[in-house]
Structure 1
């Protein structure tokens, strides 16, 4: 597969959005077709999804009116209705809106199934912070991805983020050295809740100039769905935050390594919540353990190649760290959409689309 295209954005929120929508219009249309079909499999009619998106928009406008202006620009540039662009940003929250009522394992199938890793300076060969992940999701989403290179403004540093076309942010880093990745979680606190969709919270995090401010943006947002967020700083700090709509559970690196898959690791969370992922994704347990073991064995000498090798692990295939395409109950075919390795201090992002076909990396630079 060819490399993902990079789109450069600058100016005010409206200008950024219009340029994003104009350059990614074909991929945005493809995203809407893909999710229209997927929502139908989850029992959410498209008209209902649009109505839910309009309600989410009310909450989003109260949270950050300027980012809503950017979404309006994306809609204009892509020649799509605004609620459709909101759907792309709130697709998890809307896709699983009825899951709590359906009470079936099939209704929960298809959440972002990721394995993420951060190696701290004390664990790496060149004493740098490396932040990486495999993003597992519907394999056709590889055709939706663009990389946004967003110019700095008076209020925010420059940002480099990979996104599904039309989204405000997904995984990435900024010019202040802050990097984030997100893994899907499902808990007993989820489903049928309004709040702020995760891509908007991620964008707010990446607009921060300090690690504390980025964490504040996550910790104090009115969240609508559970996610694990790994947030790191090039200066040598990292935290894993299991964020549910009502709670925060914080994890710290062990032996200079922070690894997470798709189940709650905090002992407090395990007592307080019902983890809905372990039953349907039991491989999350060994994905986390295998990557952690690989990196811990190399502690003190971890390189980018070490991380690439850990994320290429094929044990248990197709239910592996590097997931080859396989159909989940309910019909969704999931696989590793891309492998991502970031060195925010070096302003570098490596991306390998569909690594189960052989990982071919392209470097994207914030300063290019």
Structure 2
């Protein structure tokens, strides 16, 4: 996985991203061009029309994000609308699906947050998506001007917000939800992830996302050492999830709470994975290490589970599964550290350590 560090103004950060990962940005665009047409039936000029609607509002309301996307376009030699389309790809792919394309796969996978004590928090996930996109993943570090925290995240080339943590100890995870509907006046899912990573605390991040709303369906998990918050979004509402009595939030690729006017289409394995992660985390609670000595190595084991293979938590791209676990991230938010494993947990291809302290 290509590692990049970008510094400076939003446009400079974007330019450095685009230049260093120009091949991967082109790869992301080729990948999503095929997927958008396959799952929404929309050719690229219609995708641009949708992206333009988002771009206008982003430029007016969140200008720094728009400038960074312009920088990515400049650095990679792509058009700005191409880069905006990548950054609103969840809204395009799932929000615009029709009756012929409602079997579109979701990415986002199995997420967990565990709080052994009031000041300790572990969070992580497997990110399941099509193997073809693995070569376009980046480990992206962003050092912005001013007082914003330093960010390190795993993202798809060209996309300016995804899964990771910051130097303030705020971490974010994502579950895609396959539900119709989009709103161009709200934050696109991936920019919502970036906004959360720009925050100084989980509470600040959650408040900001609830104020702006999100343009398509998703579950965004936000945590720091003190707080853990799950936020289920549709294009028209938001519902909070709090840790249970044991300090746990788990999620997969379907809504857990009720939402108004929800038009959702869910794979059966999402329910099975949610049940399974409940069982696996329950076992952790009974382990002697949980409140003293529990580590990221221990935590990572919950994501290396094969019950229900190949559509298991550790997923393989073998029929009937159309995707695989491309990376796993586990975070210790008290220590402001994380480990990213590329490839399926059972057969890791590489490991990358993130440490802000």
TM-score > 0.5, shorter chain as reference: yes
Q: Distance in 2 between matches of 1:12 and 1:353?
A: 30
Match of 2:99 in 1: 103
Whole-angstrom CA distance in 2 between matches of 1:303 and 1:356? 16
For 2:80 and 2:311, how far apart are their aligned partners in 1? 37
For residues 113 and 156 of structure 1, do their structure 2 counterparts lie closer, same or farther at Cα, with a shift above 3 Å needed?
A: closer
Give the match's secondary structure for 2:117. helix
Q: Equivalences for 1:166-181 in 2 at 5 Å?
A: 166-181=158-173
Paired residue secondary structure (1:346): coil
Structure 1 alignment gaps of length 5 or more: none
Query: What is the match of residue 55 of structure 1?
Result: 53
Name the structure 2 match of 1:145: 137
Give the match for residue 336 of structure 2: 347
Please report how far the alpha carbon of residue 360 of structure 1 lies from its aligned counterpart in structure 2 after TM superposition: 4.7
- Gap change, CA 1:321 and 1:72, over 3 Å in 2: same
Q: Deviations over 1:21-47 (max 9, x none)?
A: 000100000111111111121201011
Question: Which of residues 232, 236, 240 in structure 1 aligns to 2:230?
Answer: 240
Task: Find the partner of 1:87 among 85, 88, 102.
Answer: 85
Q: How far is 1:296 from its partner?
A: 1.8
SS at match of 2:139: strand
Correspondence 1:277 to 2:273:
no
Partner of 2:301: 309
CA distance 1:358–1:79, shift in 2 (3 Å): same
Is contact 2:303-2:345 (8 Å) kept? Answer: no
What are the equivalent positions in structure 2 for 1:1-368 lying under 5 Å apart? Answer: 4-42=1-39, 43-99=41-97, 102-104=98-100, 106-122=101-117, 128-187=120-179, 190-195=180-185, 196-234=187-225, 236-254=226-244, 255-266=246-257, 268-269=258-259, 272-274=260-262, 276-278=264-266, 281-299=267-285, 300-301=290-291, 302-326=294-318, 333-355=322-344, 358-360=347-349, 362-367=351-356
Deviations 1:148-185 (A, max 9, x none): 11125323111111110111110011111111101011
Give the distance between the partners of 1:223 and 1:192, measured in 2 at CA: 9
User: How far 1:264 sits from its partner (Å)?
Assistant: 1.5
Cα contact 1:338–1:351 (8 A) shared by 2: yes
User: Take 1:275 and 1:337, find their aligned partners in 2: how far apart are those partners?
Assistant: 28
- Say if 1:129 and 1:233, in contact at 8 Å, map to a contact too: yes
Query: CA distance change for structure 1 residues 367 and 310 in 2, over 3 Å: closer, same or farther?
Result: closer
Higher relative contact order (CA 8 A, sep 6+): 1
What is the distance in 1 between the residues matched to 2:350 and 2:284? 22
Q: Quick one: structure 1 residues 137 and 316, their matched pair in 2 at CA, closer, same or farther if it must change by over 3 Å?
A: same
Q: d(CA) in 2 for partners of 1:283 and 1:113?
A: 13
Per-residue CA distance 1:226-251 (angstroms, 9 max, x = gap): 110111012x3101111112212111
List structure 1 segments (4+ residues) > 6 angstroms apart after TM superposition. none
**So what's the TM-score if we normalise by structure 1?**
0.88
Q: 1:71 to 1:51 in 2, by over 3 A?
A: same
Quote the offset at 1:201 in angstroms.
1.5
Q: Please give the per-residue CA displacement for 1:99-121, whole angstroms capped at 9, x wherever unaligned.
A: 2xx324x4342121400001113
Question: How many equivalent pairs are there?
Answer: 348
CA distance in 1, matches of 2:137, 2:250: 24
Q: CA deviation at 1:366?
A: 4.6
Tell me the TM-score normalised to structure 2 length: 0.91
Q: Separation in 1 of the partners of 2:73 and 2:274?
A: 38
Structure 2 unpaired stretches of 5+: none
